[in-house]
Amino acid sequence: MLELKGINKSFAGRQILRDLDLTVADGKTLAIVGPSGVGKTTLLRIIAGLETADAGTISWNGQQTTPDDLRSKGILGVVFQNFGLFPQYSVRRNITLAPTLAGQSQADANKRADQLLSSLALTDEAEAYPYTLSGGQKQRVAIARALALNPQVLLYDEPTSALDPALRDNVAELVNSFKKQGMTQVVITHDMDFADQVADTVFTMPTGGKD
């Protein structure tokens, strides 16, 4: 179980998050919703270790931890809003880069990447470069990359915002299929229909943080 307690964050003296508590139950999908500017991405960046909270704690299975630890141990995988793919690398290399940097052999990383590519209907794109892919394909590569380290929690930032509306249902199907496999997922979204399709629990960001 991932737990955040008393998270505070200000930018230039303006408080965005105030004493925010959040619990992500194992095997469930939590949607974090709220209007633009309320601090959803800031919260995700704090969980992912890309931003530092001014105060508050993060625990994993009851033990206090740090976002860096969660990511370096491969507990947490993040799917970024604009996919964050490395343009200079093939799809397969995008997926194997983190595992090989973490010490896996290239052969093992390739094997896992090929399994993921197959399960996400991307086998034919393995050698392609990101710029040649459609939005939906880029999204699935970003998901494959986040899954490559076998995370226990998958975090998505606005997974439908860069997609054609018709592709939203595909992403919802994927999220729901990962749930069936036992994955814990956190989805940041302003798309309430998408939240309804995937979420066990919807957490509405409090707007009280802003001065």
Ligand X SMILES: Nc1ncnc2c1ncn2[C@@H]1O[C@H](COP(=O)(O)OP(=O)(O)OP(=O)(O)O)[C@@H](O)[C@H]1O
In the bound state with ligand X, the residue whose beta carbon lies nearer, of 99 and 209, is 209
CB 205 → ligand X: shortest distance, Å?
A: 7
Asked if residue 190 binds ligand X (CB under 6 A), the reply is yes
Percent helix / strand / coil, the chain, rounded to 5: 40, 25, 35
CB of 149 to ligand X, least distance (A): 25
Asked whether position 160 contacts ligand X by CB under 6 A, the answer is no
**Closer residue to ligand X (CB): 40 or 168:** 40
Closest CA to 162 of 85, 92, 76: 85
The Cα 160–Cα 194 span in angstroms is 8
Contact with ligand X (CB under 6 A) among 37, 135, 165, 208: 37
Taking CB under 6 A as the binding criterion, the range among 11-19, 67-75, 87-95, 140-148 that sits at the site for ligand X is 11-19
Q: Footprint of ligand X on residues 40-79 (CB under 6 A)?
A: 40-42
Least distance CB 165 / ligand X (angstroms): 17
For residues 57-89, one letter each, b for 16 or more C-beta atoms within 10 angstroms of the residue's C-beta and e for the rest, the string is: ebebeeeebebeebbeeebbbbbbbebebeeee
Answer yes or no whether residue 138 interacts with ligand X by CB under 6 A: no
Distance CA 112, CA 140 (A): 15
Binding-residue total with ligand X (CB under 6 A): 12
- Is 22 a binder of ligand X (CB under 6 A)? no
Q: Kindly give, in sequence order, each residue whose CB lies less than 8 Å from that of residue 69, ignoring residues fewer than 6 positions away.
A: none
Stretch that binds ligand X, among 39-47, 99-107, 119-127, 176-184 (CB under 6 A): 39-47
Q: Taking CA 65 as the corner, what is the angle to CA 58 and CA 140, rounded to the nearest 5 degrees?
A: 75
Question: Which residues of the chain form contacts with ligand X (CB under 6 A)?
Answer: 11-12, 16, 34, 36-42, 190
